Structure formats: structure tokens, C-alpha cells
Amino acid sequence: MILQSIVKLIFNLVSSQGAFPCTADQFFNNLINDDSTYTTEYRTARQDKDINLGQWHLADEYDGQVRELKCRSMCHSPMCPPYSAITEWQHAVLSANKTDLVFETVQQVHDVPFGSYFEIHCRWSVKTIDSSSCSVDISAGAHFKKWCIMQSKIKSGAVDELKKEVGEMLGFAESYMLKVSSPNQEDDGTAQQGSTAPDADDIPGDQ
């Protein structure tokens, strides 16, 4: 399905979910389409800053669409500053019948030791199972552009961190899907509260 991938190497399967509660088409439209606020809400919830998410657009060298995410992300390593600037290039391809989605990311972390030596590559493979569910397989790893002395440690640390982050992303995605699939629940509650009889002084009429 993909003419050319932005991901160079995939090292590890970091997550496999057999029944995510939507189709591949719904996954794209509700979670990563331009109209979706999922990415911004997720990044905000994890206390990232200066979030700037570009729009999907066509690229000559890739099938599907590409876009760019920039933000300042929290760092948990004692060797890093509290926040690091990151740039993430995203690539999405939805099959013609809308049952298969490949979502890829290449992330560059700018303010960490040896940050210019490697990128974090990730691929989400989403396949529709039936009208209300899909499978989600996520593979990821550290791709080194040049060798460094801490290469093996960075690779293993990156995979461990990705496993944790992917779990958080999927959990947040499920909650977000529930919210967008029943958007009137909160509105109904608000309307119900506002449906009490008005005070007599508020009723228009002859004075």
C-alpha cells in the first residue's frame, strides 16, 4: 500500500491490540485528521508545551499525506533538561477501501545527549476487523544516523520509553473516541440544568 515509507527501520513490536473500538477509517478521522484535537489534547495532558501541529498535505516522494508536529516535551532522564524541543514528521496512508491505515512518525529530540545522532521511528498498522473494531499493531525503534558510544543503551531506553508512551496514547485515544462518539452527553446535562423554570421576574410581559 505504501509507495515509500518515512520509517527506515523497525526494531520492536511495542504494542498489539486486537480490538480497538473503531474502524481504521474512524481511527484516522477521529484521532489524526486535521479536524481532530486528539494530538493536542494528549500532548497538553502530558504537560508538553508550545504545541504546533501542521496540516496534512501531499508530498511528491511519499504516498498518502505528511505533516509536522513541533513542541517542547517533558524529559524524565536525569541527563536531560526538564523540557526538550522535538520535531516529529508524520505520514499517513489510508487504503482505497478505507479498511487499512498506516500511520508513521519520525521524531527528532533536540536537547538530549547525542540527540542529533538518532531518531525515534514508529509505525502504527491499523486494520478494520468489523463495523466497530480494528486491530492496532505498533512497532518502533531508534534509528541511528551515525554511531555513538551509548548506542545500545539509547536503543533499549527508547523502546522501554515508547512502550510506556504508546500505552498512554492508546488509553487516551479510547477515552477520546468515547467523547467524540457521544458528544451530546455533556450538552444534554447542561441543557437539563438550564431547563428549570425561570424566576417570575425574568418572564417578559406587561409590568
Q: What is the mean pLDDT of the chain?
A: 81
**Residue burial 61-86, b: 16+ Cβ < 10 Å; e: rest:** ebebbbbebebbbebeeeeeeebbbb
Residue 144: Cβ-neighbour burial (10 angstroms; 0-12, 13-18, 19+): middle
**Residue 50 confidence (pLDDT):** 95
CATH superfamily of 12-181: START domain (3.30.530.20)
Mean pLDDT of 152-178: 85
Mean pLDDT of 105-130: 85
Of 171, 167, 27, 35, which is closest to residue 103 (Cα–Cα)?
Answer: 27
Q: Which residues pair with 205 in a beta bridge?
A: none
**Residue 200 confidence (pLDDT):** 40
Percent of the chain with pLDDT over 70: 78
Judged against a pLDDT cut of 70, whether residue 63 lies above it is answered with: yes
| pLDDT band with cut points at 50, 70 and 90 for residue 135 | very high
| pLDDT band with cut points at 50, 70 and 90 for residue 182 | confident
| pLDDT band with cut points at 50, 70 and 90 for residue 6 | low
Q: Where are the domains of the chain?
A: 12-181
Judged against a pLDDT cut of 50, whether residue 155 lies above it is answered with: yes
Q: What is the pLDDT of residues 33-43, one digit of tens each?
A: 999 999 999 99
Segment among 6-20, 23-37, 63-77 with least mean pLDDT? 6-20
| pLDDT band with cut points at 50, 70 and 90 for residue 29 | very high
Mean pLDDT of 192-206: 43
**Residue 12 confidence (pLDDT):** 65
